[in-house]
Chain A
Amino acid sequence: MSRAKLHELGIELPPLPTTSVGSFPKPPYLVKARADFAQGKIKREELKKAEKRATEFWVRRQEELGLDVLVDGEMYRGDMVAYFAERLSGFEQGGLVRSYGNRYYHKPIIVGEVKWTGPITVEWWHFAQGLTSKPVKGIVTGPYTMMDWSFNEFYPTRRDACLALAAEVHKEVEALVRAGCKIIQIDEPAVSARPEELQLAIEAMAATTRDLKAYFVAHICYGDFESIYPAMLDLSVDNFDLEMSNSGLDMLRLFSKTHFTKDISYGVFDVHTHIIEDPPVVEQRLNRGLEVLSAESVWVDPDCGLKTRTVEEAQMKLERVVSAARVLRGD
């Protein structure tokens, strides 16, 4: 079904298409430029120049490595929620909170009515797509995660905040579609956090993708999938991008009980380790997936964004994605 949809959109992909989840590590010169900008040492134009240079580097590297569906690498983003919160009205930047280990992020605070005031990611998508003939995914953070990962001092309930955000994120997705983006990923890592709110997340996703012609991917990770599967298949997307390997392929057990009815971007390695998995390990993980999933539905990628790895590690891990897919395709 989804292949037909891709065909309708004019996109033809090989079997086991390879992609990545979205973020890549920022090269040292960009890390420095961001720090310099934060300290007022350089102007925004200089920072943007470094962001463009890094984006071009990653687009070229993805092409060279042979990935099929590219991303812009999010060189211009810091945190996935804060980036959008800083560009929607109604948010205030909050202080740092810890996400895990020694990792911290600025958690936004909703202090007023949330409003989309203009395209946020479209210019970057245009830039990346202009560098390649391969499709580049548009990637936005979804409304449920925006709500769940922000403090809320304005809306009376979580539901009110979530649906208000869905209406505004929809405008960003619509802007991407108008710009020509045909594969759009909605990042919703928080969806699995509160199973009792899955229906709200489904309602919000429907509002986000409503009446828009694109192939939609939902990225969900690090949660209690047992309690939301198979109900999560009702999210109005074509493809689920899932972290299969971090949880030891546990999810395959669920899929063998209840058939996975959509396309899947199948994570073949844990992104939170410096270890570069050997090719046979990656191939074996993918093979195990293919015993349960229809081959036509499977895309291959890392478990999650690669921004916490080094530039070298990220490239090596991406190389493993491509080589595993090629081996299993019989290339």
Chain B
Amino acid sequence: MDLLTANHSGYPRIGSTPGEQTLRRAIAQRERGEITDADTRAAEDHLALLALQDQEKAGLDIVTDGLIRWNDPISHLAANLEGIRIDGLLRYFDTNFYFRRPVVSGKLARSQPLVLDEFRWAAQRSARPVKVVLTGPCTLAWLSLQEAEGANLASLIFSYAEVLSAEVAELAAAGARTIQIDEPCLLKHPSDPRLAREALTLIAAGKGNAELGLATYFGDAAPVYSELQELPLDTLVFDFTYSRNLQQVIVADGSAKPLGFGLLDGRNTKLEDKAAVARGLERMLARVKAEHCYLTTSCGLEYLPRDRAQLKLKHLTSVKNTLLGES
């Protein structure tokens, strides 16, 4: 089996050097009307390129564009849909990061691609395969406010699933081979598992040859591990930092699907004991019947300062090498 090191999703878009602060400056200047949208996009490109370079330098097998252009995981997607306006700030799960809440005022429609151009841009510039990340329909729906009286969550989940399905189909047609649907909400707001299954089935319908993964985080996946295994996704990516016994559950139940092992804490600077991580990973890998698995962080790395995020990426490679007995 191949063990692939993968960036989970996001990456810091600011660092300590002036060059790493280009985007912050550009956005502030754009708000004051001093530069154009094209100038802001150039600054985004610069930071996205730095993110790609960091991942390649760290030796990762699978990279992302760092979600550098995302205002937050919710409004970046929702703001480009018809039927939605973007409202005030709310805390993003239990982080100290805040997203702008979408307010659903009409029928959702996707009149333009959401992240397709971002994928194309990164794929043209990366020597490594680029994973695409999309926030899932359950998380988008949970974190949206519906204005209409009597509106229900289930129909909003399906509305989001429909637009995401179209996006996934276009991404797959454009050559995306790894697409990850992020659904932290599934662990924080457990709801009817049929809803998630049907919504994700709708999204999976358009995936073509792409490997479609589901990432859950910010909660304990152990109690719902068997339910998650039944979802129509090719891979499952887990956050091990919230769970005392997810490793034991995986060792006990095994997996016929490739798994993503989020064993390094994406929200704390402390670097884990690589030998201990490698030992736990080895026990779980022995129970997975798949051609490949992923070693990653518990969540995206935007919660860390850039220098520490770089160290976490390098640590992924270091843990893999330890496992393979190469260092």
Contact = CB atoms under 8 A, between A and B. Distances in A.
Interface string A90-118: 00001111111110100101000000000
A63 interface: no
B239 interface: no
A99 B99 CA distance: 9
Contact of A152 (B27, B95, B270, B302): B270
B157 to A, nearest CB: 19
Interface stretch (B114-122, B248-256, B274-282, B304-312): B304-312
Nearest to B302: A98
A223 B96 CA distance: 10
Given A99-B96, A151-B269, A246 B89 contact: yes
A83 to B, nearest CB: 15
B94 A246 contact: no
A194 B94 contact: yes
A31 to B, nearest CB: 12
Contacts of B12: 96-98
A44 interface: no
Contact of B88 (A95, A151, A246): A246
A46 interface: no
B268 A223 contact: no
B90 A222 contact: yes
Contacts of A54: none
Interface stretch (B13-21, B132-140, B161-169): B13-21
A221 to B, nearest CB: 9
B88 A270 contact: yes
B89 A100 contact: yes
B300 to A, nearest CB: 11
Contacts of B225: none
Interface in A62-108: 94-102, 104, 107
B28 A102 contact: yes
A95 to B, nearest CB: 3
B72 interface: yes
Contacts of A100: 72, 89, 97-100
B91 A192 contact: yes
A251 to B, nearest CB: 13
Contacts of A247: 88, 90
Nearest to A270: B88
Interface in B251-296: 268-270
B289 to A, nearest CB: 35
A193 interface: yes
B124 to A, nearest CB: 26
Nearest to A195: B94
Contacts of B268: 151-153
Contacts of B304: 97, 151
A222 B98 contact: yes
Contacts of A193: 91, 94-96
B96 A94 contact: no
* Interface-central residue, A100, A222, A223, A270, by most chain B CB under 10 Å: A100
Given A96-B306, A98-B12, 20 more contacts: A94-B308, A95-B15, A96-B15, A96-B305, A97-B12, A99-B96, A99-B98, A100-B89, A100-B99, A101-B72, A102-B24, A149-B96, A151-B268, A151-B308, A152-B268, A152-B270, A153-B268, A153-B269, A222-B91, A222-B98
Interface of B: 12-16, 24, 27-28, 31, 71-72, 88-91, 94-100, 268-270, 302-308
